[in-house]
Amino acid sequence: MHDITLISAPVHPETPDAHCGAVFERFQADPNLVAIPVLSRGVPIGLLKRTEFLVRLADRFGRPLYEKRPVSELMDRNPLVVDHEVSIDSLYAMLIDDQRHALQEGFIVTAGGLYKGICTSHTLLQLHMKRAERRMKALDEARIEAEAATRSRSQFLANMSHELRTPLNAVIGFADFILAEQARGRSLENVWSYISDIRESGAHLLGVINSILDFTKVEANAFTLREDYEAPQEIIHRVVRMMTAAARNKKITLRADAEDLGVELFADLQVTKQMLINLVSNAIKFSPDGAEVTISQRLMDDGGIEIVVLDNGPGMNEEQLELVLQPFVQGDAGLSRRHEGTGLGLPLVKAFAEAHDGRLILESQPGVGTRAVIRFPAGRSVSREGRDYAYI
Mean of per-residue pLDDT scores for the chain: 82
Domain match, 353 and 301 both: yes
- State which of 161, 195, 217 marks the end of a domain: 217
Position 126 in a domain: no
Domain match, 244 and 377 both: yes
Domain match, 211 and 171 both: yes
Domain match, 239 and 260 both: yes
Cα separation, 32 vs 295, in Å, equals 72
Burial of 278 (0-12, 13-18, 19+ CB in 10 A): buried
Cα separation, 118 vs 108, in Å, equals 5
CATH label of the domain that carries residue 248:
3.30.565.10
- State which of 64, 97, 119 marks the end of a domain: 119
**What's the number of domains the chain is made of?**
3
- State which of 217, 239, 272 marks the end of a domain: 217
CATH label of the domain that carries residue 173:
1.10.287.130
Domain match, 261 and 374 both: yes
Domain match, 213 and 232 both: no
For residue 210, give its domain range. Answer: 149-217
Q: What is the mean pLDDT of residues 103-114?
A: 86
The CA-atom distances, in angstroms, between 113 and each of 35, 81, 109, 123 are 19, 9, 9, 20
Domain match, 348 and 250 both: yes
The CA-atom distances, in angstroms, between 237 and each of 154, 241, 244 are 39, 6, 10
Whole-number pLDDT of residue 159? 60
CB contact at 8 A, 370 and 318? no
Rg of the Cα trace of the chain?
36
Domain match, 265 and 383 both: yes
Residue range 157-192, pLDDT digits in tens: 666 665 677 677 778 887 887 787 777 766 666 677
Cα separation, 3 vs 377, in Å, equals 38
Please give the DSSP secondary-structure letter assigned to residue 377: -
Domain match, 161 and 84 both: no
Position 362 in a domain: yes
Position 129 in a domain: no
Whole-number pLDDT of residue 255? 93
Helix (H, G, I), strand (E, B) or coil at 360: strand
Rounded to 5°, the CA angle 119-120-123 comes to 75
Helix axes 121-183, 191-219, angle to 10 degrees: 160
CATH label of the domain that carries residue 67:
3.10.580.10
Position 1 in a domain: no
Please give the DSSP secondary-structure letter assigned to residue 14: B
Domain match, 282 and 363 both: yes
Rounded to 5°, the CA angle 356-358-359 comes to 130
Residue range 236-292, pLDDT digits in tens: 999 999 888 888 888 999 999 988 999 999 999 988 998 998 899 889 988 888 899
Residue range 58-103, pLDDT digits in tens: 777 788 888 899 999 999 998 889 888 888 778 877 777 665 577 7
Domain match, 49 and 77 both: yes
Domain match, 239 and 264 both: yes
Position 353 in a domain: yes
Please give the DSSP secondary-structure letter assigned to residue 63: H
Position 8 in a domain: no
Position 249 in a domain: yes
Q: What is the mean pLDDT of residues 324-349?
A: 62
Position 134 in a domain: no
